[in-house]
Amino acid sequence: QKEVEQDPGPLSVPEGAIVSLNCTYSNSAFQYFMWYRQYSRKGPELLMYTYSSGNKEDGRFTAQVDKSSKYISLFIRDSQPSDSATYLCAMRKGFQKLVFGTGTRLLVSP
Amino acid sequence: GAGVSQSPSNKVTEKGKDVELRCDPISGHTALYWYRQSLGQGLEFLIYFQGNSAPDKSGLPSDRFSAERTGGSVSTLTIQRTQQEDSAVYLCASRPSTDTQYFGPGTRLTVL
């Protein structure tokens, strides 16, 4: 079993939809949770970074962490075609290596 | 400011040849990481440098892989006697002392 599970998609939605992306994990020691966006043939770009359980909002993006269920989510409101990319969840304990999900490919159609 | 840079952006090599991949981290970032991303796979940790501490090499897949970081800045990942299964995108990331990692654009390695 992988430490971090993420549905690879693709997830196809129309422009303006609310998108929900999710990851589950098995290691309760993970403390820091991140979401990265990766466009084709580019490096991952940090979107959201959270430490504790609860919600964190940044513009159209909301990151949610539920440590009791070992479940994290990224919500994108008013999705745009420019949001089409692969979204990677990542997590770590302390300042050690990041453990990544496989990524979910999102397609937002105009 | 300038981000993490990697060179070359693309590398095509023949099976059995050695390759060197370079990473220039963000100035002042104390930690540097190498990851590998294969088609349909997530990012796989390879090696981690933190200041003057001994690197964490726990992710290197074989002794054909090695990396060094000179002067606490530039890092080189070397793959000896490349195999076709080494074909992947090799990503470098750097981190300041208290924040999370920032990635470079990657080097796409193709082993024929």
A–B CB contacts, 8 A cutoff, strictly below = 52
Q: Which residues of A touch B95 (CB under 8 A)?
A: 95
Distance of residue B7 Cα from the nearest chain A Cα, in angstroms: 13
Q: Which residues of B touch A41 (CB under 8 A)?
A: 108
Q: How far apart are CA B27 and CA B3, in angstroms?
A: 9
Q: In the predicted model, what is the mean pLDDT of residues B81-96?
A: 95
Q: Among B4, B65, B59, B62, which residue's Cα sits nearest to residue B32?
A: B4
Distance (Å) of CA B94 to CA A54, A98, B30, B80: 27, 12, 7, 24
Q: Is A24 on the interface with B (CB under 8 A)?
A: no
Whose tokens are 């104390």? That residue is: B30
Instruction: Give the pLDDT of residue B72.
Output: 77
Answer yes or no: are the C-beta atoms of A15 and A81 closer than 8 Å. Answer: yes
pLDDT at B96 over 70: yes
Distance of residue A90 Cα from the nearest chain B Cα, in angstroms: 9
Q: Among B55, B61, B59, which residue's Cα sits nearest to residue B86?
A: B61
Reported as a single tens digit per residue, the pLDDT across B37-54 is 998 778 999 999 988 888
Reported as a single tens digit per residue, the pLDDT across A40-95 is 989 999 999 998 788 999 999 999 999 999 999 999 999 999 999 999 999 988 76
